[in-house]
Amino acid sequence: MAKLIGGVTTSHIPAIGNAINDGLTQEHYWKRFFDGYGPVKQWLVEKQPDVLIVVYNDHGLNFFLDKVPTFAIGCADEYHNADEGWGLKPVAPFAGDAEFSWHLAESLIGQNFDMCTCQEMKVDHGFVNPLRVLFGDHERWPFKAIPLAVNTVQHPIPSARRCYNLGQGLGKAIASYPEDLKVVIVGTGGLSHQLQGERAGIIDVEYDLACIESVISNPDWLADQSNAEIIRKAGTEGVEVIMWLVMRGALNEKARVLHKHYHAPISNTGAGVLLLENC
């Protein structure tokens, strides 16, 4: 049977891609941020997951504002980076696992999560950058990946509670797949940031740290907040933190924290990373 061995959550800032391409990761501005991933990278090397389910928000690339699914899952055997922010980066295509994707879609829809199924899906920095940070660049990525997009761009967006519940459904869907696969769930986005409007530049360190602790040990604290409350604290784009709850919901309640790290600011964002291992 497929086994969910752990979960990672991380910010997915576009400038990370530039820093990697330009060889800046050990420069003063970036060093502490990139070094914060060390233990997670090591854990992934040790565990060698077969499949990563990457829960992120599309930023208007695959889904433009005319058609925005609340939850969408990739059901393809290959995904290409098409993020054009600061120029398209030469990133190898990601192998998918369409069969596993269809199982997840069927299970989730059976649990009353109305997924949009995508047999073609372009991926952006929300998907690509965390994988580049966590694995380094590869001509052939050493895992298969399944994108799962949550709308955080166009209102109405799903509630934090709904995202936590989606994670729980995903946990059940993974556990019911008969193939022996080691699976890791990655939730990307957040933490606090706002890119436009009067409150652009907003970073609330205290709130970000509280969100990290909530995802570790008390997910109800964050899941009980309305999106308006989250946006008031974390900014309009800070609401991406709801992706962290999808990751948490998929894991067992007793999952234990192996690593947490926070660094602010990076670009416009309070950047967090968290690794939980399933027990």
Contact window for ligand DHB (CB under 6 A) among 1-9, 103-111, 202-210, 264-272:
264-272
Shortest spacing between CB 102 and ligand DHB, in angstroms? 29
Q: Give the strand pairing for 182-188 and 3-10.
A: parallel
Is 80 exposed, middle or buried (CB count within 10 Å of its CB: 0-12, 13-18, 19+)?
A: middle
Shortest spacing between CB 35 and ligand DHB, in angstroms? 19
101 vs 188, which CB is nearer to ligand DHB? 188
87 vs 110, which CB is nearer to ligand DHB? 87
Shortest spacing between CB 176 and ligand DHB, in angstroms? 32
Shortest spacing between CB 75 and ligand DHB, in angstroms? 24
189 vs 272, which CB is nearer to ligand DHB? 189
Q: For residue 257, give the nearest of 40, 53, 32, 52 by alpha carbon.
A: 40
* Token duo for residue 82: 């098409």
Instruction: Determine, following the binding rule CB under 6 A, whether residue 13 of this chain makes contact with ligand DHB.
Output: yes
Instruction: Determine, following the binding rule CB under 6 A, whether residue 215 of this chain makes contact with ligand DHB.
Output: no
Q: Give the strand pairing for 94-95 and 78-81.
A: antiparallel
Catalytic residue among 12, 59, 103, 125: 125
56 vs 94, which CB is nearer to ligand DHB? 56
* Token duo for residue 61: 């690339």
Q: Which residues contact 261 (CB under 8 A, 6 or more apart)?
A: 36, 37, 272, 273, 274
Instruction: Determine, following the binding rule CB under 6 A, whether residue 227 of this chain makes contact with ligand DHB.
Output: no
Tally of CB atoms within 10 A around 257 = 14
d(CA 139, CA 92): 6
In angstroms, what CA-CA distances link 77 with 117, 141, 144, 184, 201? 13, 13, 9, 18, 38
Residue 153, Cα to own-chain centre: how many angstroms? 15
Instruction: Determine, following the binding rule CB under 6 A, whether residue 58 of this chain makes contact with ligand DHB.
Output: no
The contact mask relative to ligand DHB for 173-192 (x = CB under 6 A, - = no) is ----------------x---
Residue with tokens 């933190």: 241
Instruction: Determine, following the binding rule CB under 6 A, whether residue 128 of this chain makes contact with ligand DHB.
Output: no
Shortest spacing between CB 57 and ligand DHB, in angstroms? 8
Shortest spacing between CB 188 and ligand DHB, in angstroms? 8
Instruction: Determine, following the binding rule CB under 6 A, whether residue 267 of this chain makes contact with ligand DHB.
Output: yes
d(CA 149, CA 56): 5
Residue with tokens 């330009």: 22
Q: Is 193 a catalytic residue?
A: yes
Question: What residues numbered 133-162 form the site for ligand DHB, per CB under 6 A?
Answer: none
Q: Which of 129, 194, 269, 278 binds ligand DHB (CB under 6 A)?
A: 269
d(CA 229, CA 208): 13
73 vs 264, which CB is nearer to ligand DHB? 264
Considering CB under 6 A, how many residues would be counted as binding ligand DHB?
A: 13
Which residues make up the interface to ligand DHB (CB under 6 A)?
12-15, 59, 189, 193, 195, 237, 240, 267-269
Catalytic residues: 125, 193
